Amino acid sequence: MIIRPFKALRPTKDMVSKIAAKPYDVVTEEQAREVANNNPYTFYKVSRPEINYNHPVDTHDPEILKAGRKHLEWLIDNGYMFVEDKPCIYIYQQHWRDHVQTGFFATFSVDEYIENKIKKHELTRKDKEDERALHVKVVKAHTGPVFLMYKSKPEVDSLIMKHTNGAPDYDFTDETGVRHIVWVLKDDNEIQQIVEAFKEIDAFYIADGHHRAAAAVRAAIDFRNENPNYSKEEEFNYFLAAIFPHSQLKILDYNRVVKDLNGMSEEEFFKKVSEKFNVTPISGTYKPEGKHSIGMYISGRWYKLEPKLGTYDENDVIASLDVSILQNNLLAPILGIENPRTDKRIDFVGGILGIEELIRLVDSGAFKVAFAMYPTSIDDLLKVSDEGKIMPPKSTWFEPKLKSGIVVHLI
């Protein structure tokens, strides 16, 4: 697999904590706007350029996206960000609670994505691809890193870890309590060691950021069409990502809340659920302790759901996922939620918010029932990707998230 060092556009040391921001798609426009009201340097002004306007705008309009480019130029012109003097690799370590993961920022091959050597597990939406591809073209940069992983190899992992001993170039803790540490690797020989080591790796996997990756590829194809004599050395042939060994990554639960019981009484609902699941009342709060255990919260009480034999195919990697079991045996046939991507009666709650958020949403009356899931495993994700299959929507929630604005790839 190809690892390519690059000349990052990055903040000065004293500005990194002010500029760095969450991925554009995990905050609402209102949340990004609120941050920008208190922090004029925030990278949201680049990644979500609509917040530079005081009225509703079309994020598919190139003129609107130019505000993102303008803010990037403002950060450069005022000395808050600068371009590296030579191609580097950026070792990136994140500390969150008791979890540590260490990888690096580099650029990655558009062609390896097209050839499916960079493997996916999610469908993407064309409208989101369109918007982000246009963002890449107008801003002339990859502003948000794709989150990649590789199957861990001790000799490769240690090659990265050995560069975490010296004084870091960045070390800051963000508003969510995640500590971000970056070491800029400039030595050509040490960079080449990493490049060579990854030639022995067969594939990369997208953990998070499928739309960012697809958009980078779409933009690259457009640039190629506009430059038919391209050489594959141009920056647009590579996209920005941070990559980590799979053994270090953490997937949290991705839970479901539903607004009503599809016209049924609770008694009718429980009767139907009991046909497919063993239902056990729980005293106190319940958080699933293993695969094939699902928590259900309704009318102030928790229940443990265990799928009965014959309700799913254990040999099918997709059908045996807990999110599939719940969808195929309860959400669709009982609650009438055929397409969880589009049905307004269902919502999804990332595990970062905890079981307490499910209780709050149901107790508030906004939702009737909540389902607490056991996290999808990294091994299942790899298996799905290797088989070229697609996971159900909202199957994985990776934490901690990558920050945007720590390094930017100019094209």
CATH number at 352 reads 3.30.1760
- pLDDT surpassing 90 at residue 341: no
Based on the domain organization, do 219 and 337 belong to the same domain? no
For the record, the structure tokens of 411 come out as 């094209």
Q: Is 306 in the same domain as 241?
A: no
Residue 392 lies in a domain: no
pLDDT tens digits along 149-180? 999 999 999 999 999 999 999 999 999 999 99
Residue 382 lies in a domain: no
Do 73 and 67 touch, CB atoms closer than 8 A?
Answer: no
**Within 13 Å and on the Cβ side, how many CA atoms surround 402?**
31
Is 73's pLDDT higher than 90?
A: yes
Say which amino acid occupies 151: K
**Domain-embedded: residue 4:** no
Quote the pLDDT of residue 125. Answer: 87
Q: Domain limits at 220?
A: 9-250+399-410
Give yes or no for residue 380 having a pLDDT over 90: yes
- Give the lowest-confidence range in 41-45, 246-250, 341-345, 358-362: 341-345
d(CA 302, CA 287): 9
Q: Are residues 245 and 214 in the same domain?
A: yes
In the chain, the amino acid numbered 185 is L
Both tokens of 175, joined, read 């508003």
Q: Does residue 23 belong to any structural domain of this protein?
A: yes
Pairing mode of beta strands 118-119, 204-208: parallel
- Tens digits of per-residue pLDDT, 277-303? 999 999 999 999 999 999 999 999 999
58 and 78 assigned to the same domain: yes
| Angle in degrees, 0-180, between the axes of helices 154-161 and 188-198, rounded to the nearest 10 | 160
The average confidence (pLDDT) of the chain is: 96
* Residue 393 binned pLDDT confidence (cut-offs 50, 70, 90): confident
Could you tell me if residue 162 is inside a domain? Answer: yes
**Residue found by looking up tokens 């699941």 in the block:** 277
pLDDT (tens digit per residue) in 113-136 = 999 999 999 988 889 999 999 999
Q: Residues 308, 215: one domain?
A: no
Confidence (pLDDT) at 166:
94
Per-residue model confidence as pLDDT tens digits over 255-272: 999 999 999 999 999 999
- What mean pLDDT comes out for the span 339-354? 92
Within a domain: 394? no
Shared domain for 259 and 243, answered yes or no, is no
Q: Are residues 173 and 265 in the same domain?
A: no
How many structural domains comprise the chain?
Answer: 2
Question: pTM for the whole thing?
Answer: 0.93
Q: Both 60 and 136 in a single domain?
A: yes
3-state secondary structure at position 224? helix
Domain match, 23 and 109 both: yes
d(CA 167, CA 178): 19
Tell me: cis bond preceding 392? Omega within 30 of 0 counts.
no
